[in-house]
Amino acid sequence: MSGRRVMLLLAAGVALVAFAIWLSSRRHLERTVNAGDLVLPGLERSVNSVTSLRLRRGDDTHTTLNKEGSGWLVAERSWPADVSKLRKLLLDLGALTIVEEKTRLPANYPALGVEDVNSPKASGTLIEIIAPTTRWPIIIGKSSSAKSGYVRLADAPQSLLAAPLLSVDADPKGWLVRELVDVPSKRVREVEEKPASGPAFRAARDQPDGNFTVSPLPKGRELFGPGAAEPLAGALTALTLDDVRKGAPAGDAALSHAVFRTFDGLDVDVAGRKDGAHTLLALSARSTQPATAPEAEKLNARFQGWEFEIPDYKYTALFTPLEDLLKKPPPLPPKKPGASAKKSSPAAAPVPTVPAR
């Protein structure tokens, strides 16, 4: 056998060994995928160990949820996160099961919504689940049916059809604890309104089942009914926020004020303003009776240093104008048809003076 032939056979052998090593490494890196397998193995038993959850979309909408003691915070707002919603997402991710393999070609990822989120046109959401010793990155794509959707591990080429279908929100507002304050209508004894524009007034009653009297009323006007002010008393019932901002309103802001006083001695002061399309509140509480002192303290711990964005209809309920509580005045009578105002008759011509002879 010639030396050249020996060298060729040796080179072929080296190439074959190299290919076998490469193939073995690929099989090690990419586990075998079978229907019914978990998409994120190990997460199901590690849910309680997760310390951070990051969500990001291609348009840079993003949320970071961090575990803080026994609770969670939305980092972009420094406000408590909805733990029940977060835990449901983690449990669903831990239970996410492969239905079947889909494309491995990057050119086909956009059809499933599983392309990398570094493009503004990407439609999926990248979720990074972080525990002390493990990290699970996954892209949640489009839905396939009411029960399944497309996903892809962010560091692997294989896309998958998986169940259950996941609903993912990358907007920080979607993860906030929304409960703000809850004062039932029957608990309210008095509401004092001082709007930024329009007349101030007071609505008060002597007992929880009584109707409110409103004063002062404009001369000649009356309430549209005995229960006209009852909806105003319910404005703090199950009040929820849409978003939060740190800080207090500017000193020159045009503020509306309302003070809600309860029969058991809790006062809630509400200052409201509008910032473009946003309706914002700053709140404070105080107690006038010992029984409500702990409640006032708890509310102030929640309110202090924040402005809260609320739905517009709730803002209107908190600062209802006096005019909305009154009967509409009777329409002015129509003008009677007829001639225009009488013309004044011409002055008589002066009589010429005849000179004496």
Q: Where are the domains of the chain?
A: 30-175, 179-325
Q: How much is the pLDDT for 253? A: 72
Q: What is the rounded distance in angstroms from the CA atom of residue 73 to the CA atom of residue 80?
A: 4
Q: How much is the pLDDT for 154? A: 95
Q: What is the rounded distance in angstroms from the CA atom of residue 60 to the CA atom of residue 179?
A: 27
Q: How much is the pLDDT for 23? A: 46
Contact, 158 vs 101, CB < 8 A? yes
Render pLDDT for 85-139 as a digit per residue (tens, 0 to 9).
Answer: 999 999 999 999 999 999 999 999 999 999 999 999 999 999 999 999 999 999 9
Strands (E), the chain: 52-57, 62-68, 71-74, 79-80, 97-101, 125-130, 135-143, 149-153, 159-163, 179-181, 188-194, 201-204, 213-215, 239-240, 243-246, 256-262, 266-275, 278-287, 306-309
Give pTM, 2 decimals: 0.80
Q: How much is the pLDDT for 345? A: 52
C-alpha dihedral sign at 245, 250, 256, 261: positive
Q: How much is the pLDDT for 7? A: 64
- What's the angle, vertex CA 151, arms to CA 149 and CA 157, rounded to 5? 145
Residue with tokens 């979309």: 57
The strand pairing partners of 127, in sequence order, are 55, 138
Residue 337 per-residue DSSP state: P
Picking from 197, 325, 203, 198, the residue whose alpha carbon sits closest to that of residue 273 is 197
Query: What 3-state DSSP class applies to 330?
Result: coil
Residue with tokens 């802001």: 253
Q: What is the rounded distance in angstroms from the CA atom of residue 17 to the CA atom of residue 271?
A: 76
Q: How much is the pLDDT for 15? A: 62
CA dihedral 291, 296, 302, 308 (to 10 degrees): 130
Picking from 176, 156, 226, 219, the residue whose alpha carbon sits closest to that of residue 73 is 176
Picking from 38, 166, 32, 60, the residue whose alpha carbon sits closest to that of residue 118 is 60
Q: Which amino acid, 321?
A: P
What residues have CB less than 8 Å from 202, skipping those under 6 apart?
190, 191, 192, 193, 214, 215
Given a cut of 50, the residues of the chain with pLDDT beneath it are: 21-29, 357
Picking from 76, 112, 97, the residue whose alpha carbon sits closest to that of residue 33 is 97
Q: How much is the pLDDT for 21? A: 47
C-alpha dihedral sign at 168, 169, 175, 180: negative
